[in-house]
Structure 1
Amino acid sequence: MEMEVSAELGHTAGSKLYDDDGRLKRTGTMWTASAHIITAVIGSGVLSLGWAIAQLGWVAGPAVMLLFSILTYYTSALLADCYRSGDESTGKRNYTYMDAVNANLSGIKVQVCGFLQYANIVGVAIGYNHCRLH
């Protein structure tokens, strides 16, 4: 299937400019990926760290942070495993969260996951703006 897409777009499978799915090759490095992760994590999370420790104390605060870091690692590993459907090196790429959901679930489960994703985005946006205003 990927070969047909590449042929329709006029790209050869061995092209230096295009991936196996006909899109431009990505040029990111470990440094650029690390920079994106750091800027995403350092945002509002670090600003609320002092408040969280003040509310939970010196014992429960770091324990909760450790728990959430383990949860974040686990979910990011699951998401990374869903990047390709089928074979992990030659399968179809899932470019969005909903592509990965559609590749692994079906029916009402896809709609529930989509609803929860958008509800989470709305909730985070409201919480972030609420914190910025106070």
Structure 2
Amino acid sequence: MGENHRVFIDDPSLNDSQCFDDDGRLKRTGTFWTASAHIITAVIGSGVLSLAWAIAQLGWIAGPAVMLLFSIITFYTSCLLTDCYRTGDPVSGKRNYTYTQAVGSLLGGCKVKVCGFIQYVNLFGVSIGYTIAASISMM
């Protein structure tokens, strides 16, 4: 993952084909429904398994309030990430296919390494957390 898969054809008349995007990659064929399915499968994961426990710990008032707060935060950060998809012009600007590309094109320099480090530390911590949660669940 994270590799650039570009298709370049020597014949310029074929590069203007309806099969390719403006950056030379094959056009995406997703629809609203496929995007919705991907979002649902990303959101409904291991977090749903701990939802009942979280509500039991927080109660019926604080539990839904915290869920609403986190849903607002998730919506806001996803809007920010969506705004970073293209650099420059939102319609014809350069596409950023990865989070690292977005950070590099918008912030640049040393900040790419700092954000990458934080991202990998977060991934490492989440992996440890899931491992501990899974082992506790198996006991």
When the two structures are superposed, what TM-score results if normalisation uses the length of structure 2? 0.85
Unmatched 5+ stretches in structure 2 = 1-6
Closer, same or farther: CA 72–128 of 1 in aligned 2, 3 Å? same
- How far did residue 48 of structure 1 move? 0.4
Partner of 1:14: 16
- How far did residue 130 of structure 1 move? 1.7
- How far did residue 14 of structure 1 move? 3.1
- Give the number of equivalent residue pairs: 130
Unmatched 5+ stretches in structure 1 = none
Partner of 2:34: 32
For 2:11 and 2:42, the matched residues in 1 are separated by 34
Closer, same or farther: CA 61–93 of 1 in aligned 2, 3 Å? same
Q: State the identity as a percent.
A: 68
- Decide which moves more: 25-34 or 108-117: 108-117
Cα RMSD for the two superposed structures = 1.9
SS in 2 for 1:39: helix
Partner of 2:125: 123
- Decide which moves more: 103-112 or 76-85: 103-112
- How far did residue 106 of structure 1 move? 2.3
Q: Give runs of aligned pairs for residues 1-134 of structure 1, distance below 5 A.
A: 10=12, 12=14, 14-134=16-136
When the two structures are superposed, what TM-score results if normalisation uses the length of structure 1? 0.88
Query: What amino acid does structure 1 have at the position aligned with 2:37?
Result: A
Closer, same or farther: CA 88–19 of 1 in aligned 2, 3 Å? same
- How far did residue 129 of structure 1 move? 2.1
User: In the alignment, is the contact (CA less than 8 A) between 2:86 and 2:94 conserved in 1?
Assistant: yes
